[in-house]
Structure 1
Amino acid sequence: MAKVDVVVPCYNYGRFLEGCVHSVLEQSCGDLRVLVIDDASSDDSASVAHKLAHADSRVSVISHPQNWGHIATYNQGIEWASSDYFLLLSADDLLVSGALERAVEVMDANPDIVLTYGTGVSWHDDLAPPKMEDQHANTWTRQDLVREMCVIGANMVNTPTAIGRTCVQKAVGGYRASLPHSGDMEMWLRFGAHGAVAKFDAVQAIYRKHSSNMSSSYWSEDGSDYSHRKAAFDSFFEEYMDRLPEGQRLRTMAYRMLAETAFWRAIGRMRRGYINSGLQLLRFSIDLNPRLRFGPPAGSILRRASTKVFGRTDKQPFC
Structure 2
Amino acid sequence: MTVKTAPRLMRGRPRISVVIPCYNYGHFLPECVRTVLDQPGVEMDVLIVDDASPDGSAEVARELAAADPRVKLLAHEKNSGHIATYNDGLAAVDGDYVVLLSADDVVVPGALAQSAALMESNPGVGMVYGFAPTFVDVPREPRTRVHSWTVWEGPEWLEQVCRRGGNPLATPEVMLRTSLMRELVGYEPELPHSADFLLWLRAASRAQVGRVNGVDLAFYRVHGGNMHTSQFSGVLTDLTERWKAFEWFFAHDGDAVDTPRLRASAARAVAREALIAVRQSYELGEPAADAAELVALAEKIDPDCRGGRLWTVCQNYLRRGARVPVRLTATVDKAIFHARWRRWRRTGVLGAVRSL
Amino acid at match of 1:117: Y
Q: 1:142 aligns with which of 136, 139, 151?
A: 151
Q: 2:201 aligns with which of 185, 189, 196?
A: 189
TM-aligned CA distance change 1:39 to 1:2, over 3 Å: farther
Q: 2:268 aligns with which of 238, 241, 256?
A: 256
Give the whole-Å Cα distance in 1 for the aligned partners of 2:34 and 2:147: 23
Give the whole-Å Cα distance in 1 for the aligned partners of 2:123 and 2:307: 48
Q: 1:79 aligns with which of 86, 91, 94?
A: 91
Amino acid at match of 1:317: A
Q: 1:157 aligns with which of 169, 193, 212?
A: 169
TM-aligned CA distance change 1:224 to 1:318, over 3 Å: closer
Partner of 1:288: 301
Partner of 1:278: 291
Cα offset, 1:13, TM superposition: 0.1
Partner of 1:105: 117
Residue pair 2:275, 2:310 contacting (<8 A) in 1 also: no
Bigger shift: 12-21 or 137-146? 137-146
Partner of 1:20: 32
Give the whole-Å Cα distance in 2 for the aligned partners of 1:266 and 1:41: 39
1:243-297 Cα offsets, whole Å, 9 max, x none, are 22x2221111111111111111121123333243222111111111223221247
1:4 counterpart = 2:16:
yes
Residue pair 2:224, 2:230 contacting (<8 A) in 1 also: no
1:74-131 Cα offsets, whole Å, 9 max, x none, are 1111211211100110000000111110111111110111100010110012xx4312
TM-aligned CA distance change 1:307 to 1:39, over 3 Å: closer
Query: Secondary structure of the residue that 1:223 maps to in structure 2?
Result: helix
Query: Secondary structure of the residue that 2:236 maps to in structure 1?
Result: coil
Cα offset, 1:307, TM superposition: 11
TM-aligned CA distance change 1:156 to 1:55, over 3 Å: same
Give the whole-Å Cα distance in 1 for the aligned partners of 2:309 and 2:56: 52
Give the whole-Å Cα distance in 2 for the aligned partners of 1:226 and 1:137: 33
Residue pair 2:276, 2:310 contacting (<8 A) in 1 also: no
Give the whole-Å Cα distance in 2 for the aligned partners of 1:234 and 1:206: 30
TM-aligned CA distance change 1:243 to 1:28, over 3 Å: same
Give the whole-Å Cα distance in 2 for the aligned partners of 1:79 and 1:148: 30
Give the whole-Å Cα distance in 2 for the aligned partners of 1:162 and 1:239: 23
Residue pair 2:131, 2:217 contacting (<8 A) in 1 also: yes
Residue pair 1:260, 1:296 contacting (<8 A) in 2 also: no
Give the whole-Å Cα distance in 2 for the aligned partners of 1:117 and 1:195: 14
Cα offset, 1:17, TM superposition: 0.6
Cα offset, 1:41, TM superposition: 0.5
Amino acid at match of 1:273: E
Bigger shift: 193-202 or 108-117? 193-202
Amino acid at match of 1:230: W
Amino acid at match of 2:38: E
Cα offset, 1:239, TM superposition: 0.8
What TM-score results when the alignment is normalised by the length of structure 2?
0.81
Query: Secondary structure of the residue that 2:289 maps to in structure 1?
Result: helix
Give the whole-Å Cα distance in 2 for the aligned partners of 1:39 and 1:211: 19
Bigger shift: 271-280 or 230-239? 271-280
Q: Point out 4+ residue stretches in structure 1 off by more than 6 angstroms.
A: 304-309
1:63 counterpart = 2:75:
yes
Amino acid at match of 2:65: A
Partner of 1:316: 351
Give the whole-Å Cα distance in 2 for the aligned partners of 1:26 and 1:236: 37
1:40 counterpart = 2:52:
yes
TM-aligned CA distance change 1:308 to 1:124, over 3 Å: closer
The aligned runs of 1:298-313 (5 Å cut-off) are 312-313=339-340
Query: Secondary structure of the residue that 1:5 maps to in structure 2?
Result: strand
Partner of 2:248: 235
Give the whole-Å Cα distance in 1 for the aligned partners of 2:101 and 2:180: 18
Give the whole-Å Cα distance in 1 for the aligned partners of 2:288 and 2:229: 22
Partner of 1:218: 231
Query: Secondary structure of the residue that 1:215 maps to in structure 2?
Result: helix
Cα offset, 1:34, TM superposition: 0.3
Give the whole-Å Cα distance in 1 for the aligned partners of 2:219 and 2:90: 22
TM-aligned CA distance change 1:296 to 1:115, over 3 Å: farther
Give percent identity, aligned residues only. Answer: 35
1:130 counterpart = 2:121:
no
Q: Which runs of 5+ in 2 are unaligned?
A: 1-12, 312-329, 344-349
1:177 counterpart = 2:210:
no
